[in-house]
Amino acid sequence: MPPTTSGIHNMRTPEAEPPERARDASSVPRNGEAEPRPPIPQRRHPLDGFRYAVEGIVAVVRTQRHMRFHFFSVALVLLMGLLFRLDKREMLVLLFTISLVLIAEMFNSAIEATVDLVTKEYHPKAKFAKDIAAGAVLVATLNAVVVAWVLFMGDLRLEQIRLRMERAEPTLAVAVTIGVILIFVIVSLVKVLATQGKVRLFRGGAVSGHAALGFFFAMAIIVVSGDLLASVLALLLAALIAQSRVDADIHSWREVVLGSLLGVGLGALIFWLTPR
């Protein structure tokens, strides 16, 4: 008996499968495991680039000792610019010059990391690339030193700054505050530069910050009081602070003396520039 027409339609062959199902079947391997699909690319947030840039700055500051030195130098120079009452144009020149140094140091760190990623062995071209990057930092630093010298010291600059500060009439409290900040920045800068490995800003180091602050405040008392007895007592208290750092085996006599000279010298400069 010949098959009916309905029976012919009920018998499905692989060729008769719909194209959609055929594509689905072809995408499944014979062992039954599904093939991994390629990951769908996620949309980047508009602020991702800014976040990556900030992470790069934080990373270079954490890992590169010279970058920390440059950042402390930036803070010191800007504070000196505020103390010396530089005008807007001079501050812009100072900021531009400092930015060049920071940019050069960051490029230097990036080039060093890239060269170390490519090869760990000595190669003349690797040395050539690192030396050129370090030379760029040196050129930017020398340029910054020259600009700072012209702004702060050139053409009787100190006398001009002193006259400008007399017209501005800053208070003694402002001068003391600036002095304390400058001491912290200078002491931190010296410790970062002179210390190998982990830096401890508030204990030990090449310069005693306590001695510097003690003698700086002694200079402030001498200037404010104008009394001989008060001046002698202030100097004795500062000397006791310095001696306590040596007795506690935190600093050596050399480090204490350096801190004392820093406090006296910075105090003399600030209170000479500050009108009374």
Q: Where are the domains of the chain?
A: 63-168, 169-276
Burial classification of residue 239, based on how many CB atoms lie within 10 Å of its CB (0-12 exposed, 13-18 middle, 19 or more buried): middle
From CA 270, how far away is CA 79, in angstroms rounded? 12
Give the mean pLDDT of 132-137: 90
81, 91 Cβ separation under 8 angstroms: yes
- Residue among 105, 112, 159, 166 flagged as catalytic: 105
Give the architecture-level CATH label for domain 63-168: Orthogonal Bundle (1.10)
- Please give the pLDDT value at position 61: 78
Task: Supply the DSSP symbol for 24.
Answer: H
**Residue 15 among the catalytic residues:** no
Is the pLDDT at 29 greater than 60? The verdict is: no
pLDDT tens digits, 64-104: 777 877 777 777 777 777 767 777 888 888 889 988 988 99
Distance CA 128, CA 119 (A): 13
- What is the predicted pLDDT for the residue at 232? 86
Cα angle 21-22-23, degrees, rounded to a multiple of 5: 90
What is the torsional sign of CA 56, 62, 63, 69? Answer: positive
Q: Residue 205, by phi and psi: left (phi above 0), alpha (psi -120 to 50) or beta? A: left
In order, the DSSP letters of 52-114 are: HHHHHHHHHHHH-HHHHHHHHHHHHHHHHHHHTT--HHHHHHHHHHHHHHHHHHHHHHHHHHH
Q: Is the pLDDT reported for residue 123 higher than 80?
A: yes
Please state which of the ranges 8-17, 28-37, 43-52 shows the lowest mean pLDDT: 8-17
For the chain, give the mean pLDDT.
Answer: 76
Q: What is the pLDDT of residue 20?
A: 47
Candidate ranges 76-90, 115-129, 150-164; pick with highest mean pLDDT: 115-129
Mean pLDDT over residues 6-33, rounded? 48
Residue 39: per-residue pLDDT = 61
Q: pLDDT band for position 107 (50/70/90)?
A: very high
How many residues are recorded in the chain?
Answer: 276
pLDDT above 80 for 11: no
10 Å CB burial of residue 220 (0-12, 13-18, 19+) is buried
pLDDT digit string, tens, across residues 13-24: 444 445 444 444
pLDDT band at 35 (very low <50, low <70, confident <90, very high): low
Average pLDDT rounded to a whole number, residues 53-62? 83
pLDDT of residue 162: 62
190-228: pLDDT as tens digits: 776 666 555 566 666 778 888 888 899 888 888 887 778
pLDDT greater at residue 251 or residue 1: 251
234-243 own/partner pairs: CB under 8 Å, 24+ apart: 238/211, 238/214, 238/263, 239/214, 241/210, 241/211, 241/213, 241/214, 242/208, 242/210, 242/211, 242/214, 242/215
Buried b (16+ CB within 10 A) or exposed e, 134-165: bebbeebbeebeebbeebbeeeeeeeebbeeb
Place of tokens 């002694």: 218
